[in-house]
Amino acid sequence: MRTIDDRIVHELNTTLPTASFAGKVDANQTCKELYQSLMEAHASREKIIKSCIAQTSNVVKTLREKREKAQDDIALLKQLRQEQTKADTLLPKDACQNLVYPSGKPECEYDNQF
């Protein structure tokens, strides 16, 4: 998912033509294609992250409901804590700041999810 982001300098160097190849390749079109590829990768990544968050949120909600009915169940408490820990790893406080978006995102939509 992050291959393009992780290798952006390499992608730019191999995608955009040098002066000697400027006449053979449409730099404007090539740049647009690279930008579109980046946007698709970001959208895909965001969709997957949201899906993981939604699934984990549902599991935590279900386990909390079960926990209210069976407060003495130690195994259930352990499972709930494991899922909550997983949720915490999906949503580190600076996760949104670590994602780079060309258009910018003013706030983190994942805050206060759990």
Domain residue limits, the chain = 3-16+27-98
8 Å CB contact between 110 and 96:
yes
| Residue given tokens 């409901």 in the structure block | 65
- Average the pLDDT over 71-82 and give the result: 93
Three-state DSSP class for residue 20: helix
Whole-angstrom distance, CA of residue 105 vs CA of residue 98? 11
Q: Any idea which of 23-27, 59-63, 78-82, 96-100 has the lowest mean pLDDT?
A: 96-100
The residue that leads in pLDDT, 87 or 5, is: 87
Q: Which two tokens stand for residue 28?
A: 């404007």
* pLDDT tens digits, 8-48: 777 777 777 677 766 777 778 888 888 888 888 888 888 88
